[in-house]
Structure 1
Amino acid sequence: MAIEVDYQVTIPDPDSRLPDADQIHRWITAALALARPEQDDAEVTVRVVSKEEGQQLNSDYRDRDYPTNVLSFPFEAPVELPLPLLGDLVICAEVVEEEAKQQHKAVIDHWTHMVIHGTLHLLGYDHIQDDEAEAMEQLERQILAKLNIADPYQVFTNTEHNA
């Protein structure tokens, strides 16, 4: 499986709590291995943004005027053009860190969860309906367990996500 990740950090003075490109790559690879094992190649852009940019994108694309943890923009190629582009993830570092603190989680574990959560959205998973949310959360738990990360929903139960 060849996974290509374009990792862009756009926030000024990124601190050491941001994951590195290898971690992002490992998390996306883990998500694809369980959620879409037949996927041979994939390209994903992961962009780390400020609260301001996150809020603007959330407002522009989801009509929600507040910053959010992760936004997913799936790439929909024409059928006759089979490209491995999955799409883009936009992650607000400040929101992820705030949520981790509020939920009493390690920041890196919450980053892992948000990258996996966003990747599943790129693959077509959603959590609008209860049954969809249950299926998506179960898959997230399985992927996170493979990475030795605790069930994020056991620590903080909330089926309303921002992504």
Structure 2
Amino acid sequence: MNNLDISFNDEVNFLKNDDKDWIPWITNLLLSAKKEINKKNAQEMSINFVSSEKIHEINKKYRGKDRPTDVISFAIEDGLDEDFMAAFNDDPDFVEDIGDLFLCPEVIKRHSVEYETGFNREFGYTLVHGYLHLNGFDHIEDDEAKVMFGIQGKVLREYGLPLHPDQENHGKQIH
């Protein structure tokens, strides 16, 4: 249940922070999310820490949004038939490649100041949010948002990173 292999690509030296050992912090938070969504099979993913300029470029190219953002997720299994994938989920040797996250610490830091949430909370929020997208969750429709933000809130609360009150009550992002 707890096998999660994460490859890190750090273009902005985020992980070299002397004050915090981010890799176990990230891994444990995502393992909590994995447990909450009841993913039993092993998973692998990549996390890429990029600059504001790089994420702006990715956001414009793949999402048509001409601005930097905090996270972009590229799920490997987007659009794959659920019945097809279900056949593999019961195989204990199956390792699911869920995709790639691109995170911009600069934008996350800016959001943490703007929303007065603190960096660790905002970073955790963004990380779990992206991870849930890689696992097929979305928040386009209100019912989807309620499920996704409910899971996200529970994981973050249990990790000591509570959601903003607006997010707790309405299942919506404050940003």
For residues 134-153 of structure 1, what are the alpha-carbon distances to aligned partners after superposition, in whole Å with 9 as ceiling and x for unaligned?
11111111111110211235
Q: Does the aligned pair in 2 maintain the 1:2–1:41 contact within 8 Å?
A: yes
Partner SS, residue 69 of structure 2: coil
The offset of 1:120, in angstroms, is: 0.3
Structure 1 residues 75-84 or 19-28, which shifts more? 75-84
> Could you tell me which amino acid in structure 1 is paired with residue 156 of structure 2?
L
Identity of aligned residues (%): 23
After superposition, the CA RMSD in angstroms is: 2.7
Tell me whether 1:50 sits opposite 2:63 in the alignment.
no
Q: What's the CA shift for 1:76?
A: 2.2
- What's the TM-score once normalised by structure 1's chain length? 0.86
The range that moved more, 21-30 or 57-66, is 21-30
Q: List per-residue Cα deviations over 1:46-102 (Å, max 9, x = no partner).
A: 001000100010011100010001101011297488541111000011100000000
Q: Give the conservation status (yes or no) of the 8 Å contact 2:42–2:96.
A: yes
| Counterpart check, 1:108 vs 2:97 | no
TM-score, normalised by the number of residues in structure 2: 0.81
Given that 1:28 and 1:116 are in contact with CA atoms closer than 8 Å, whether structure 2 keeps it comes out as yes
Kept in 2, the 8 Å contact 1:58–1:66? The answer is yes
Structure 1 gaps, min length 5: none
Task: Indicate conservation of the 8 Å contact 1:113/1:144, yes or no.
Answer: yes
Partner residue, 1:146: 158
Supply the distance in 2 between the matched residues of 1:120 and 1:28 (Cα, whole angstroms): 9
Q: What is the rounded CA distance, in whole Å, between the counterparts of 1:13 and 1:63 in structure 2?
A: 27
Residues 1:26 and 2:28 aligned together: yes
In the alignment, which of 147, 154, 165 is matched to residue 135 of structure 1? 147
Give structure 2 stretches of 5+ with no counterpart: 89-93
Q: Which of 143-152 and 16-25 deviates more?
A: 16-25
Residue 155 of structure 1 deviates from its aligned partner by 7.1
> By how many angstroms is 1:154 displaced?
3.5
Once the two structures are TM-superposed, the CA of residue 159 in structure 1 deviates from its matched residue by 2.9
Structure number with bigger Rg: 2
1:96 partner SS: helix
Count of paired positions: 161
